[in-house]
Amino acid sequence: MASLLKASSNVLRSEKLPFLSRSKTRQGVVPKKITFRLVPIALSLSTSIGTVEHDLRSNSPDIAIPIMVNGCTGKMGKSVIQAADSAGLYVVPVSFDAEKKSGQTVEACGKKILVHGPSDRESILASVFQEYPNLIVVDYTMPATINDNAELYGKVGVPFVMGTTGGDRDQLYKTVEESKVYAVISPQMGKQVVAFLAAMEIMAEQFPGAFSGYSLQVMESHQAGKLDTSGTAKAIISCFQKLGVSFDMDQIQMLRDPKQQIEMVGVPEEHLSGHAFHLYHLTSPDQTVSFEFQHNVCGRPIYAEGTVDAILFLAKKVKSKADKRIYNMIDVLREGNMR
């Protein structure tokens, strides 16, 4: 189970959480160890599709869909390639990434993928799209590049799934809307975490102001390489704001130091390079009631599996020429055809 939701009413716990004290810096030292209740996540990359011969122009929406994974030099990109290959999708042997990675060859699932730099990405993408007209691009690049990437995908006319976080999100959606290209855009690809977020949005819509007067403390821990604040945390906080909680996004406590992650929140050492721990703590005005919401993820398979579901979902929308063009992972969940 990838997401743990715990709501508790506790009249005995009236003190503020020391590790979330606003007097500390976002990277501050925590005075005592806080143990996350970690739920092991076991995900299978097996598929009922089995081994298939790749017919690149197959009419099947589920088998041999060609995908181009941009950002394949990163751990998330490689995880997506593994999940896609297991699901019977065809990973084209071409990708693009930062200039410093141009010319590299990535080996994954028995494939050799040639990485191109930004200078020739438009001609490369157009050529690949011409060869594989049912191509879907998967983007796990960098926050600084997503707006330019989306503009390119729209210019070429290729559908895409974007799991990259950050960037100018308003401009991102405007670009995609104007290009009329099909896309699934979500900063959170973990299906179970998305379901939790959807439940929070329903609660916020149906019970606005239910937590008026409550104080909120938020901590998120990710691998050191994640430079931006968790998009999932921001989405959950927006729900709490609708529920009546006053909270500024700059109050989020970011934890990126590996030593603190092990000692303070109990991140397993083998998952320091890939994890997502979130904790939201609500306290009543008189400090006699508290609620805690927590979801912890170790590793990347949960996001890779969700990405594959998004690919299959988007391929069906393209094939059916659906009127709606821009989707998110909640749309994928509502479709009800996940593996």
The DSSP result for 21-58, as a single string, is -TTS-TTPPPSS---------------SS-S----TT-
Catalytic site includes residue 226: yes
Distance CA 50, CA 12 (A): 54
Angle between helices 191-206 and 231-242 (to 10 degrees): 20
Choose, from 191, 222, 271, 278, the residue flagged as catalytic.
Answer: 222
DSSP 3-state percent helix, strand, coil across the chain (nearest 5): 35, 20, 45
Active-site hit among 78, 226, 278, 281? 226
The reply to whether 222 belongs to the active site is yes
Q: How far apart are CA 47 and CA 64, in angstroms?
A: 13
At 328 the three-state DSSP class reads: coil
Locate the DSSP E strands across 119-191: 136-139, 160-162, 183-185
- Measured distance CA(282)–CA(280) in Å, rounded: 7
Per the listing, tokens 């810096």 go with: 25
DSSP annotation string for 230-254: PHHHHHHHHHHHHTT----GGG-EE
What's the chain's Rg over C-alpha atoms? 21
The whole-angstrom separation of Cα 80 and Cα 76 is 6
Looking at residue 95, the DSSP 8-state letter turns out to be E
**Token digits for 269?**
């050492």
Enclosing H/E stretch for 177 = helix 169-179
299 half-sphere exposure, CB direction, 13 A CA radius: 15
Q: Could you tell me the two tokens for 15?
A: 């003190």
Query: Sheet of 90-91: strands edge to edge?
Result: 90-91, 66-70, 136-139, 160-162, 183-185, 326-327
Any idea which residues carry the catalytic annotation?
222, 226
